[in-house]
Amino acid sequence: MQAEILDWLNLLVRWAHIVIGIGWIGSSFYFVWLDGNLDKSTRSGIEGEIWMVHSGGFYRTEKILVAPTELPRHLHWFRWEAALTWITGMILLVVVYYLGSTAFLIDPAIADLDRDTVASIMILGLVGAWLAYDLFWITPFAEKDGRAAGFISFFAAIALAWGLTQLLPGRAAFIHAGALFGTVMVANVWVRIIPAQRALVAASKTGGKPDPALAHRAKQRSMHNSYLTLPVIFIMISNHYPFIYGHPWNWALLLGLALIGGGMRYWMIVFEKGRNPLWIPLAATLGVLVVAWYAANPPGAAAVAAGPPVPFAEVQAVVAARCQSCHSARPTDDTVQPRPGGVALDSPAEIRLNAQRMRAQAVLTQVMPLANKTQMKPEERELLGRWIAQGAKLD
């Protein structure tokens, strides 16, 4: 498809995806907050209530203890936010990774796959991951021992992320892992949580009691979604951080950030209920420092040795040979738009201006050249790194 059309699809779908996603995560954060902040009510039939002031008016919300015998005509379900976030997300994945150039999706140095193979693996993965997760969590073992089952699921998720990094370049591996986890979250809403709510509504109509197993399951799944939220949001923005996804141990850094995100979500929930286990934010801070240390010292980084000053002419020759086919106001590589990533490297001033970003992409990590299309050599990365370490001088 034409690059301009893809760019516009990318823009519009991403815009919608973010707006709808904010609606979904915002309402789910709001309800967790609400549950933790209700004041006990003395009125019969009311479990808790709260007064709020917002956008120029007072609001009073009550949580009803038993379902009303007669339901109001208008009952809001909060179900389309999740579904539409998923739909826009899948379209965005296809637009960015499957319709344009394969440069983000396939790196023969990692695995020599073609696009159709990756797409098939992904579709099988989406269905398989959900089925495995869902069937595991309805076993009596998982229903009873949520903690042990949680550990097992966590390690399974890490194994999945690791597997993806063995097939795809880091950036694509991360976003595909995010698509898998996001799918589990949305399926939780549609397959487990909403049916349980439907049973609740049906029971209140007949005056009966809904199946407690359904309610228990729905609660478990909504807790999983809660803990997945921050890790999945990190994955969704991870394409801005090549020092994470481009790291040889990217899956391990992801594991660290997922633990930090999940832990901080737990802290938010208990904090909203009036407790403040300080060790959690402290451990998270320490965790960030550990991840940052590993990220700053990638084992595969071009070893920048102290050496003689690098003449700029040599750097310019490397950039011309390895980067300019894409990074130009008039790229010769027909798979990219002018100035990809906002970076043109035509003039000495532009090369100097982008020195630190080039270091992040082509010296510390080997994210650039994309899929090493221009076959940059390790010596050239070292040279570039040394020139930047020496102050990126233009002489």
For 303-320, letters b (16+ CB in 10 Å) and e give ebeeeeebebeebbebbe
Residue 107 Cβ vs ligand HEC, minimum distance, rounded to whole Å: 11
Residue 168 Cβ vs ligand HEC, minimum distance, rounded to whole Å: 15
Establish if 354 lies at the interface with ligand HEC (CB under 6 A). Answer: yes
Q: Please, which of residues 90-149 interact with ligand HEC by CB under 6 A?
A: 103
**Alpha-carbon torsion 167, 173, 178, 179, what sign?**
negative
Residue number with CB closer to ligand HEC (65 or 237): 237
Residue 369 Cβ vs ligand HEC, minimum distance, rounded to whole Å: 3
Establish if 326 lies at the interface with ligand HEC (CB under 6 A). Answer: yes
Establish if 327 lies at the interface with ligand HEC (CB under 6 A). Answer: yes
CA distances, 78 to each of 40, 82, 194 (Å): 25, 8, 9
Residue 293 Cβ vs ligand HEC, minimum distance, rounded to whole Å: 22
Side-chain half-sphere exposure of 361, counting CA atoms within 13 A: 20
Establish if 358 lies at the interface with ligand HEC (CB under 6 A). Answer: yes
Point out which span in 19-27, 215-223, 263-271, 358-366 binds ligand HEC (CB under 6 A).
Answer: 358-366
Q: Do 188 and 224 contact (CB within 8 A), yes or no? A: yes
Q: Which amino acid is at 288?
A: V
374-383: long-range contacts, CB 8 A cutoff, minimum separation 24: 374/321, 374/322, 374/323, 374/325, 375/322, 376/318, 376/322, 378/302, 380/318, 380/322, 381/302, 382/302, 382/303, 382/304, 382/305, 383/310, 383/314, 383/315, 383/318
Among 35, 340, 355, 390, binds ligand HEC (CB under 6 A): 340
Establish if 79 lies at the interface with ligand HEC (CB under 6 A). Answer: no
d(CA 217, CA 195): 10
Establish if 361 lies at the interface with ligand HEC (CB under 6 A). Answer: yes
Point out which span in 106-114, 190-198, 294-302, 372-380 binds ligand HEC (CB under 6 A).
Answer: 372-380
d(CA 310, CA 325): 23
Residue 360 Cβ vs ligand HEC, minimum distance, rounded to whole Å: 7
Q: Do 209 and 113 contact (CB within 8 A), yes or no? A: no
d(CA 273, CA 19): 28
Side-chain half-sphere exposure of 172, counting CA atoms within 13 A: 26
d(CA 347, CA 160): 43
d(CA 111, CA 117): 11
d(CA 272, CA 269): 5
Phi, psi dihedrals of residue 4, rounded to the nearest 5°: -65, -40
Establish if 316 lies at the interface with ligand HEC (CB under 6 A). Answer: no
Residue 157 Cβ vs ligand HEC, minimum distance, rounded to whole Å: 25
Establish if 369 lies at the interface with ligand HEC (CB under 6 A). Answer: yes
Residue number with CB closer to ligand HEC (247 or 322): 322
Q: Do 245 and 238 contact (CB within 8 A), yes or no? A: yes
Size of residue set near ligand HEC by CB under 6 A? 23
Residue 368 Cβ vs ligand HEC, minimum distance, rounded to whole Å: 3
Among 255, 376, 383, 392, binds ligand HEC (CB under 6 A): 376
Residue 380 Cβ vs ligand HEC, minimum distance, rounded to whole Å: 8
Establish if 344 lies at the interface with ligand HEC (CB under 6 A). Answer: no
Q: Please, which of residues 220-259 interact with ligand HEC by CB under 6 A?
A: 239
Establish if 41 lies at the interface with ligand HEC (CB under 6 A). Answer: no
Among 152, 374, 389, 393, binds ligand HEC (CB under 6 A): 374
Establish if 328 lies at the interface with ligand HEC (CB under 6 A). Answer: no
Establish if 265 lies at the interface with ligand HEC (CB under 6 A). Answer: no
Residue number with CB closer to ligand HEC (178 or 369): 369
Residue 316 Cβ vs ligand HEC, minimum distance, rounded to whole Å: 12
Which residues of the shown chain bind ligand HEC in the complex (CB under 6 A)?
103, 239, 322-323, 325-327, 333, 336, 340-341, 343, 354, 357-358, 361-362, 368-370, 373-374, 376
